[in-house]
Amino acid sequence: MSNGDTPSVRMPRNAAVSFGRETCGSLEQAEQREWLVTNGIGGFASGTVSGNLTRRYHGLLLAALHPPVGRTQMVAKFDETARCNGADYPLSTNRWVSGTVEPNGYLNIESFHLEGTTPVWRFAIGDALLEKRIWMQQGENTTFVQYSLIRASSVVQLECKALVNYRDYHSTTHAGNWQMQVDNIEHGLKVTAFGGATPFYLLSHEASIEARHDWHRDCFLPLEQYRGLDTSEDHLLAGVFCLQLQQGQSATIILSTNPDAELDGMKNLADRRQLEDSLLAAWENTNKLSSSTPGWVEQLVLNANQFIVKRELPEDSDARSIIAGYHWFGDWAATP
């Protein structure tokens, strides 16, 4: 476990995007607010404030296997349950084809805001306050999911069920009898969807981990219904990560195509913040602006940067291109 304190770096002074219980506690409103984080090579993670997946393009790891294209959904989401003072509190939300909403973790969201480009949820669970952050490693198909216990009178136990997949990001999965290979490795699990597939890894220094192989079938995708497309999908429960947090502690689960991915969540978060801090400083210097730049302008600068990706060219290995739009467009022009 690592201490919850994080290095002090300059981020947008006022959260330009933030929601309280009025929005977070309403499923209709919370699932209409979407978040996006990217890795600079075409991969991304995305979802809704409520936690449920409403599009086929939502997921924790949509890796760009042929940067900046070849996007493949590998990890769909975590279904999390927190145990505090003997009571269980769901943190995740799912809609099912039957019309059922279960679990309904959105009811435990106290607030949501963006910290730079990093989405941050605050869950009120009993007398405890738990934060969750999601961000990606720049230049790598790696997503970090971090949990920090801000306030608690006792230890909070957290069970995170990892739901995975392996498909083109435009597709949906109906599993049938599909058998993926899930192997225990040091600090986590290795998932191989089929022969020739790119393996991916679910890793954590802090968690106890149990491999599973159970399909969760008939997950409902309401925005796909609106678009007139396939409205349901299956995801594989590949493993269960169990964490114990005391007040002031943080723990991170890493999802990656890199078997040697960085496991130090606090260090990587500091690196992410420093990157965004440098982007803001360079932008202000270029535009000769003062430190009184409004927070919403800084937020636009950081969000715009998420559309810039690396695309190697024969004459320039460090060329850049621009994603035409998330979630479904690729890049339409490469520039040196």
Q: Give the pLDDT confidence of 163-199 residue by residue, as tens digits.
A: 999 999 999 999 999 999 999 999 999 999 999 999 9
Rounded CA gap, 57 and 59, in Å?
7
Instruction: State the residue range of the domain holding 244.
Output: 2-325
Mean pLDDT of the chain: 93
pLDDT at 207 over 60: yes
Q: Which residue from 146, 248, 152 is spatially nearest to 204, judged by alpha carbons?
A: 146
Residue whose pair of structure tokens reads 């149990």 in the numeric block: 210
What's the pTM value of the predicted model, to 2 decimals?
0.93
Mean pLDDT across the stretch 309-313?
91
Q: Is residue 321, in this structure, part of any structural domain at all?
A: yes
Rounded CA gap, 107 and 88, in Å?
13
Q: Is residue 331, in this structure, part of any structural domain at all?
A: no
Q: Is residue 333, in this structure, part of any structural domain at all?
A: no
pLDDT at 202 over 50: yes
Cβ–Cβ under 8 Å, residues 68 and 49: no
Overall domain count for the chain: 1
Q: What pLDDT shows up at residue 2?
A: 53
Q: Is residue 334, in this structure, part of any structural domain at all?
A: no
Mean pLDDT across the stretch 312-332?
91
Mean pLDDT across the stretch 76-85?
97
CATH code at position 273: 2.70.98
Lowest-pLDDT range, 46-60, 61-75, 301-315?
301-315
| Residue 336 binned pLDDT confidence (cut-offs 50, 70, 90) | very low
Q: What pLDDT shows up at residue 263?
A: 96
Q: What pLDDT shows up at residue 257?
A: 98
Task: List, for residues 107-143, the tens digit of each pLDDT value.
Answer: 999 999 999 999 999 999 999 999 999 999 999 999 9
Q: What pLDDT shows up at residue 291?
A: 60
> Which of 11-20, 177-186, 288-297 has maximum average pLDDT?
177-186
Lowest-pLDDT range, 86-90, 120-124, 313-317?
313-317
Q: What pLDDT shows up at residue 294?
A: 80
Q: Is residue 117, in this structure, part of any structural domain at all?
A: yes
pLDDT at 284 over 90: no
Mean pLDDT across the stretch 41-70?
97
pLDDT at 8 over 80: no
Three-state DSSP string of the chain: CEECCCCCCCCCCCCCCEECHHHHCCHHHHCCCEEEEECCCCCEEEEECCCCCCCCCCEEEEEEEECCEEEEEEEEEEEEEEEECCEEEECCEEEECCCCEEEEHHHHEEEEEEECCEEEEEEEECCEEEEEEEEECCCCCEEEEEEEEEECCCCEEEEEEEEEEEEECCCCCCCCCCCCEEEEECCEEEEECCCCCCCEEEECCCCEEEEEEEEEEEEECHHHHHCCCCCEEEEEEEEEEEEEECCCEEEEEEEECCCCCCCCHHHHHHHHHHHHHHHHHHHHHHCCCCCCCCHHHHHHHHHHHCCEEECCECCECCCEEEECCCCCCCEEEEEC
Question: In Å, how far are 101, 181, 188, 241, 323 from 94, measured between CA atoms?
Answer: 6, 25, 25, 19, 30
